[in-house]
Structure 1
Amino acid sequence: MAEPADRVYESQGLRLHYVDWGNESAPPLILVHGGLDHCRNWDAIARDLQPHFHIMAPDLRGHGDSEWAKGSSYSLTDNVYDLTRLMRFAGLQDAAIVGHSMGGMVALAYAGTYPESVSRLVVLDGAFLLGSQAAPIHEQMSRWIDQLDRIAEYQPSTFRTIEEAAKRLFARNKRLAPALALHLASYGVRKGADGLYRWKFDHYQRARAPYRLSPDDYAALWSRITCPTLLMWGEESFLPDPAGLLAHFKTAELQKVAGAGHWLHHDRLDVVLASLRRFLDAPLGAGKAAARP
């Protein structure tokens, strides 16, 4: 199909958006984006894999065309709950999940909570542990309150055109092709009554609340994952090499991708697609080439 269908579901009173790429009779595959991103960043991968899977890609709360949470409710556990609601709403019993960055952390936590509900799991640059030495709780509370105060005073960036927003994305990732940057920007901004464009995501989701999971909590969840798991990491990512984390998993493999930073599926789409096809058992059809959105 050329374009996915827009769908909505409800979680904790929020109206959340996702796109459905059709092919309902095929095995389900959920694509979960990272922070400050949106569901249409998966378009190239979704179009390539759509003949093999029923693909759904949600906009996490506070992102894309999903509603913003009130009261800074953007914890990992909230996002995991939203994923359970999507699974129930769509009637999915067993799904493969691919997550990038924060979306990978959400996918890992979901798979550790409900190991029987995930058939295969792929995490793109999203397996990492926060520092093991947590600051005293009063410092965490004070830091969080200061963050919320700063965000309350923050004036979001504005752009006169979508092309200006695309240039901002390119400044973050120099590997982006101009067409891809424009595609990501076109779904990542919203035009206001003043005629200016602003990012769709809620800046309050940047705040790091003091009620996060501990490293031991993450490790405990990961140890419960029973499905085959692939961790992919860009060798030029700002996140650390996750090789030392493999010991927390029952069955996981690590693939390091040369020439890629944090946004693996944008930097090396060819490598990521080839790995996904192999791992998800969806071989490339004869004469078919990966297409950019």
Structure 2
Amino acid sequence: MIAASQFITINGLRLHYLDFGNSAQPPLICIHGLSGNAHNFDRLAAHLTPNYHVIAIDVRGRGDSQWGPADEYNPAAYNSDLANLIDLLRFPRVTLIGTSMGGMIAMLYAGGYPERVERLVLNDVGPEVNTVGVKRITDYMNIAPTEFGSLAEVGEYYRQNYPAMRQMPEQELLDFVKWAVKPAENGAFRWKIDPAIRNVPRSGSAARPLDMWVPYARITASILVIRGAQSDILAPATVERMRTVLPQLTRVVEVPGVGHAPSLLEPEALNAIKQFLAR
């Protein structure tokens, strides 16, 4: 599916998003993870556009969105960007799908503006994250090569560092990773992500973590949680506490054989999302 590439100025930055059309349908906004981009949702959007107006955003500093000040790569800034986007697009109520960091942003918004969120899908993330998984992510971000000789090399890097992608077919993987990099003058490929983001987990918001249970407890939307059965980010104990805090957490689905984070194209995840959105 070909989406319209759109730009909008928010908080002084030129931010990019993909609009998959069907504007007569209810809006659904997809938010990617720490080092992801809007195109992570290309294939999922194809399944959802018959019934939803799907928007996928490039969080500031990622994809085709403008890089921002290093000290503004934090949850408050991301949440402000999302809130302004929803207002500028004049969406009275939305459904949110967030993967990892994107799920944290979605929880912040849904807790801050509970009347604006109808449904919430959290992909392998909750108000608490496992420190072992966070360390794994920050470690590979800190040692990641700055450039690659080919897209195949980028794909191999993803296979080594993203367990959920190890079984992905080669062409599907290349279609996924090509949006994470851009051609350099020397013919190599370099990351689109702002290099300053690599330092954020050590010196930014993760060094002064928010208590995400506070905004989570304010959410009134229906919630679906999808968890990779081998996730080192979202612990089963966290999921159980989420159920206790919010009874409207209607369903938790585990994707077998997958770590952090499911692609949402696995049959277990995709079917759960479709059923949840159809309610």
- On whether the aligned pair clears a TM of 0.5, the verdict is yes
Quick one: distance in 2 between partners of 1:251 and 1:155?
A: 39
Q: Does the alignment pair 1:265 with 2:263?
A: yes
Quick one: distance in 1 between partners of 2:94 and 2:114?
A: 11
Amino acid at match of 2:114: P
For 1:136-155, list aligned pairs within 5 A. none
Q: Does the alignment pair 1:168 with 2:157?
A: yes
Amino acid at match of 1:260: V
Gaps of 5+ in 1: 133-146, 283-293
Range that drifts further, 171-180 or 98-107? 171-180
**In 1, are the aligned partners of 2:93 and 2:116 still within 8 Å (CA)?**
yes
Equivalence for 1:141: none
Q: Does the alignment pair 1:254 with 2:252?
A: yes
1:263 Cα deviation (Å)?
2.3
Structure 1 residue aligned with 2:231, among 237, 242, 259? 237
For 1:71-220, list aligned pairs within 5 A. 71-129=70-128, 156-172=145-161, 173=163, 174-206=166-198, 207-208=200-201, 209=204, 212-215=208-211, 218-220=212-214
Quick one: distance in 2 between partners of 1:243 and 1:265?
A: 23
**In 2, are the aligned partners of 1:27 and 1:53 still within 8 Å (CA)?**
yes
CA deviations 1:90-110 (Å, max 9, x no partner) are: 111111111000000100110
Task: Report the secondary structure of 2:179's partner residue.
Answer: helix
Gaps of 5+ in 2: 132-137
Quick one: distance in 2 between partners of 1:155 and 1:238?
A: 20
**In 1, are the aligned partners of 2:70 and 2:197 still within 8 Å (CA)?**
no
Equivalence for 1:137: none
**In 1, are the aligned partners of 2:228 and 2:257 still within 8 Å (CA)?**
yes
CA deviations 1:30-66 (Å, max 9, x no partner) are: 1111011111111111011111110000000111111
Quick one: distance in 2 between partners of 1:77 and 1:249?
A: 23
Quick one: distance in 2 between partners of 1:205 and 1:251?
A: 34
1:250 Cα deviation (Å)?
4.4
Amino acid at match of 2:56: A
1:244 Cα deviation (Å)?
2.5
**In 1, are the aligned partners of 2:14 and 2:65 still within 8 Å (CA)?**
yes
Quick one: distance in 2 between partners of 1:233 and 1:5?
A: 30
**In 1, are the aligned partners of 2:124 and 2:260 still within 8 Å (CA)?**
yes
Evaluate the alpha carbon distance shift between residue 131 and residue 95 of structure 1 in structure 2; reply closer, same or farther with a 3 A threshold.
same
**In 1, are the aligned partners of 2:33 and 2:102 still within 8 Å (CA)?**
yes
1:9 Cα deviation (Å)?
1.1
Range that drifts further, 168-177 or 7-16? 168-177
1:264 Cα deviation (Å)?
1.0
**In 2, are the aligned partners of 1:37 and 1:64 still within 8 Å (CA)?**
yes
Tell me the TM-score normalised to structure 2 length. 0.86
**In 2, are the aligned partners of 1:111 and 1:118 still within 8 Å (CA)?**
yes
**In 2, are the aligned partners of 1:68 and 1:202 still within 8 Å (CA)?**
yes
1:75 Cα deviation (Å)?
0.5
Equivalence for 1:19: 18
1:69 Cα deviation (Å)?
1.0
Quick one: distance in 2 between partners of 1:247 and 1:50?
A: 33
Amino acid at match of 1:184: F
Q: RMSD between aligned alpha carbons?
A: 2.2
Evaluate the alpha carbon distance shift between residue 204 and residue 247 of structure 1 in structure 2; reply closer, same or farther with a 3 A threshold.
farther
Tell me the TM-score normalised to structure 1 length. 0.83
Quick one: distance in 1 between partners of 2:177 and 2:130?
A: 33
